[in-house]
A and B are shown apart, each in its own frame.
Chain A
Amino acid sequence: MTVKVSLPFDKDYVTQFSQGLNEPDWMKTLRLNAFDKAESLEMPKPDKTNIKDWNFTEFKHHAEGEKIESIHDLPFELLNLLDHEKEQQNLIIQRNHTVAFSSFDKKLEEQGVIFTDIQSAIRNHGDLVEKYYMTDAVHVDEHRLTALHAALMNGGVFVYVPKNVNISEPLQTIFWQEDPEAALINHVLVVAEENSSVTYVENYTSNNKDVKSSANNVTEVIAKAGAKVSFGAVDNFEAGTTVYTNRRGLAERDATIEWALGQMNEGDTVSENITHLLGDNSHSNAKTVAIGRGTQKQNFTANITHFGKGSDGYILQHGVMRDKSSGIFNGIGKIEHGASKSNAEQESRVLMLSKDARGDANPILLIDEDDVTAGHAASVGRVDPMQLYYLMSRGISKFEAERLIIHGFLAPVVNQLPVEAVKQQMKQLIERKVY
């Protein structure tokens, strides 16, 4: 027996929503086709986590956000995400589903760099967006959630870096779900043309401890030959939000994609982070750290698939699980036939802070080529008593020793976040969630 799950919105709604945004026909058609598929496609099946009953369909789909005249009007916790020493040159704050604040360095604009909300990009740079939007990286019909995403996408940003342009200052976005009922279906599209480079960092935050909502977010990063994209994120949705997040990268010849993902959500979360090393000598470094607490269930997959010769992939996943939370960490290094001289390394470690917590580290190497190197390390365990002994033997209390060890364990992502304020905020989040 198949249970038909009814969708909360119908085709008329999708049509009206698209028209209300003045979207071009291609986008409206993409949404409507996706809507049809969402009805028939299956839910994704993350390994060892049953998400059948998770809420991805009941939510408020659209909420306006008030404009912010000055950054100083931001609430304290958002103000904390910004480096105050520097003027925020490249910043977009999305409040609910509309842009509340944006600023962008004129010089970059003159060089042809695009950094704008996704709706403006669809209207003003339609050809570019159409070329990359759910075409090569994430596909509409992968499963029900990707189709739902495409049908109901209601926020996001577009980053475009022209050939040979290197951006030294990071581009920062804050996605602020102020309305507790509003769901975020966010699409982040980053395209870096040949030999360009960009650092992007995003923060997600919501206000719904008790009110149920959901997030269904897709990120696509396209790094053309010789391009370098450093992507940092701190996801911090409140407990009421059930999260599906799919971040995918395509790296062409000699391109590099670096991920530093701080997965600090309070609610149930499925996160996929897949990078395809398409070109020869492409490179990816995918780091994720996560904390689970309460009865939270989380499933993380980091996958680097090698197609290009001499491609190099390194996955790091570190999770801390406390209370009755559960965290599954799947690390997949896949080397396709022909990707000779490639190297696939991964490390997944889970630190258990309570006997009722559950942690799984599943290292998987799938190798279809002889002339390669690969390695994995995985562990699930408690704080090492020898490390505690060592620190305590210098007079450090047990509490402080554990604190140092846990912060150290989560440091690989913290240290890689590009904006100092975001780094500090991540440290505070760790502090708050672990103690």
Chain B
Amino acid sequence: MAGSTLEIKDLHVEIEGQEILKGVNLTVNGGEFHAVMGPNGTGKSTLASAVMGHPKYEVTQGQVFLDGENVLEMEVDERAQAGLFLAMQYPSEISGVTNSDFLRSSINARREEGDEISLMKFIKEMDEAMDTLDMDKNMAQRYLNEGFSGGEKKRNEILQLMMIKPAIAILDEIDSGLDIDALKVVAKGINEMRNENFGCLTITHYQRLLNYITPDKVHVMMQGRIVKTGGPELAQRLEAEGYDWIKQELGIEDETIGQKA
């Protein structure tokens, strides 16, 4: 089998003392596209953040492996260097650091000293990726996410994805706040990544993104667990019928975790 494997086993996660994830099991292999769906407040974004190592989330139980390596023992930068990538829902704004300097640092961070990407090659790759994403070229010289619109931030996350070329990417609500044209552009960028060496976990609560990025597997999350897994047809049924039938099937009254929205 080509590509990497991300294994999430019985993952329990707390934030500020409140348990959000209550035993998540999920495996993503290279070449596979997975979607995690679910209503708001069911723990989807927590899963993404905990796997990447967000400082506010504490893993209390369970394991995460990337190709057998214990991800939870790694620092955030080590997780990235091992091949993980998270397209964030709310990326930070960093004044004074240009988008292109940041991207070059990111690319060079996973290359040996003395083997840094040449400036020409970097510019060429960035130009191509920006064309695919229909981004204004002067975005390269703007400060990282500073003053970017919501849509520009999302495109910029996908630009990083395309430039960094991770083994496994998690996309956290990459569709939120995008109009349909922007959504198509972002999906085009993600689909260009498709190959047997790239695995992707897309988190969304709208089915519409999955019209453009067809998943191999769809998981539904409720109450901090994955409660149902199926193929692309599951996403379509959710779009048509909503989540109530799953709740009824499983006897769930409140799908959220505690009071947190």
The one of A384, A398, A410 that contacts B92, using a Cβ cutoff of 8 Å: A384
Q: Does B191 contact A (CB under 8 A)?
A: no
Asked whether A407 lies within 8 Å of B164 as measured between CB atoms, the reply is no
Closest chain A CB from B114 CB (angstroms):
16
Q: A392-B75, A396-B77, A400-B105 given as contacts; is B160 within 8 A of A410 (CB)? A: no
Residue B53 CB within 8 A of the other chain: yes
Least Cβ distance of B218 to chain A in Å? 25
Q: Are A397's CB and B77's CB within 8 A?
A: yes
Contact A385 B91 (CB under 8 A): no
Interface residue B86 (Cβ < 8 Å from any Cβ of A): yes
In the assembled complex, the Cα of A427 lies from the Cα of B106 at a distance in Å of: 21
Q: Which of A386, A395, A410, A411 contacts B77 (CB 8 A)?
A: A395
Decide: B94 and A404 in contact? CB cutoff 8 A.
yes
Question: How far is it, in angstroms, between the C-alpha of A393 and the C-alpha of B55 when the chains are bound?
Answer: 11
Question: Which B25-82 residues have a C-beta within 8 angstroms of A?
Answer: 52-55, 75-77, 79-81
B residues 85-124 touching A (CB-CB < 8 Å):
85-86, 88, 91-92, 94-97, 101-102, 105-106, 109-110
Cβ-based interface call for A389 (8 A): yes
Specify the chain B residue showing the minimal Cβ separation from A414: B96
Known pairs A408-B96, A410-B96; A393 contacts B109 (CB<8 A) = no
Other-chain contact of A405, B55, B88, B94 (Cβ < 8 Å): B94
Question: Which residues of A, 399-419, contact B by the 8 Å Cβ criterion?
Answer: 400-401, 404-405, 407-412
Residues of B within 8 A of A408 (CB): 94-97, 143
Is residue A124 within 8 Å, beta carbon to beta carbon, of the partner chain? no
A15 and B109 alpha carbons, distance in the complex (Å): 64
Minimum CB–CB distance from A417 to chain B (whole Å) comes to 14
Interface size bucket, B side?
20 to 34
Residues of A contacting B106 in the complex (Cβ-Cβ under 8 angstroms): 394-396
> Is B96 touching A407 in the complex (CB atoms < 8 A)?
yes
Q: Are A404 and B55 in contact (CB under 8 A)?
A: no
Q: Decide: A411 near B95, CB < 8 A? Known: A394-B160, A400-B105.
A: yes
A301–B53 alpha-carbon span in the complex (Å): 41
Q: Are A385 and B160 in contact (CB under 8 A)?
A: no
Instruction: For the complex formed, measure the closest distance between the CB of A415 and the CB atoms of chain B, giving whole angstroms.
Output: 8
- Shortest CB–CB separation between residue B188 and chain A, in angstroms? 22
The listed residue (A393, A409, A410, A412) touching B76 by CB distance below 8 A is: A393
Within 8 A of A (CB), among B130-178: 143, 160, 164
A391 within 8 A of B: yes
Contact B97 A398 (CB under 8 A): no
Q: Is the CB of A395 within 8 A of B92?
A: no
Name B80's closest neighbour in chain A (CB-CB).
Answer: A395
B164 to A, closest residue via Cβ: A394
In the complex the two chains form, what is the Cα distance from A397 to B109 in whole Å? 8
Assembled-state Cα–Cα distance A397/B77 (Å):
6
Contact pattern, A 363-393, Cβ under 8 Å of B = 1, otherwise 0: 0000000000000000000001111011111
Q: Is the CB of A395 within 8 A of B97?
A: no
**Inter-chain contact A411/B96, CB cutoff 8 Å:** yes
Query: With A384-B92, A412-B96 known to touch, is A398 a contact of B77 (CB < 8 Å)?
Result: yes
A395 to B54, CA, bound (A): 14
Q: Which residues of B contact A395 (CB under 8 A)?
A: 77, 80-81, 106, 109-110, 164
Which A residues touch B109, using CB under 8 A?
A: 394-397, 400
Question: How many angstroms from the CA of A269 to the CA of B54 in the assembled complex?
Answer: 40
Q: B75 near A404 (CB under 8 angstroms)?
A: no
From A387, A390, A396, give the contact of B105 (CB < 8 A).
Answer: A396
**A398–B88 CA distance with the chains assembled, in angstroms:** 19
Q: Which residues of A contact B97 (CB under 8 A)?
A: 404-405, 407-408, 411
Closest Cβ of chain B to A343, distance in Å, is 19
Q: A390: which of B81, B92, B164 is its contact (CB, 8 Å)?
A: B92
B95, closest chain A residue (CB): A408
User: How far, in angstroms, from A304 to B54 measured CA to CA in the complex?
Assistant: 42
By a CB distance below 8 angstroms, the chain A residues around B92 are 384, 386-387, 389-391
Which residue, of B53, B105, B106, has the highest number of chain A Cβ atoms within 10 A?
Answer: B105
Q: Are B55 and A389 in contact (CB under 8 A)?
A: yes
With both beta carbons as reference points, the residue of chain A lying nearest to B96 in the complex is identified as A408
Identify which of residues 160-214 in chain A touch chain B, using a CB-to-CB cut-off of 8 Å.
Answer: none
Q: B94 to A387, Cβ gap below 8 A?
A: yes
Separation in Å of the A28 CB from the closest CB of chain B?
48
Let me know if B76 and A389 touch, CB within 8 A. yes
Q: Is the CB of A409 within 8 A of B102?
A: no
Instruction: Tell me the complex Cα distance, A394–B101, Å.
Output: 13
A267 to B105, CA, bound (A): 34
B15 to chain A, nearest CB (A): 14
In Å, the complex CA distance between A398 and B80 comes to 12
Residue of B nearest to A399 (CB): B77
Complex-state Cα separation, A404 to B143, whole angstroms:
12
Question: Given the complex of chains A and B, what is the CA–CA distance between A147 and B94 in angstroms?
Answer: 44
Q: Which residues of B contact A398 (CB under 8 A)?
A: 75, 77
Chain B residues closer than 8 Å to A412, beta-carbon distance? 96
Would you call A389 and B96 a contact (CB within 8 A)? no
Which B residues from 7 to 37 make CB contacts under 8 A with A? Answer: none
> Which chain A positions have C-beta within 8 A of B85?
393-394
**What's the least CB distance linking B251 to chain A, in Å?**
38
Residue of B nearest to A384 (CB): B92
Are B80 and A392 within 8 A (Cβ)?
Answer: yes
Bound: A321/B53 CA distance, A: 28
Q: Are B81 and A393 within 8 A (Cβ)? A: no
Chain B residue nearest in CB terms to A415: B96
Assembled-state Cα–Cα distance A393/B94 (Å) = 14
Given contacts A386-B92, A392-B77, A394-B102, 14 further A-B contacts (CB under 8 A): A389-B76, A389-B92, A390-B88, A392-B53, A394-B85, A394-B109, A395-B80, A395-B109, A395-B164, A398-B77, A404-B101, A404-B102, A408-B94, A410-B96
A and B contact pairs by CB, cutoff 8 A, 23 listed? A384-B92, A387-B94, A389-B92, A390-B94, A392-B77, A393-B52, A393-B53, A393-B86, A394-B80, A394-B102, A394-B106, A395-B77, A395-B80, A395-B106, A395-B110, A398-B75, A400-B105, A400-B109, A401-B77, A404-B94, A404-B105, A407-B96, A410-B96
Closest 7 CB pairs of A and B: A408-B96, A411-B96, A395-B80, A394-B106, A395-B109, A392-B76, A408-B97
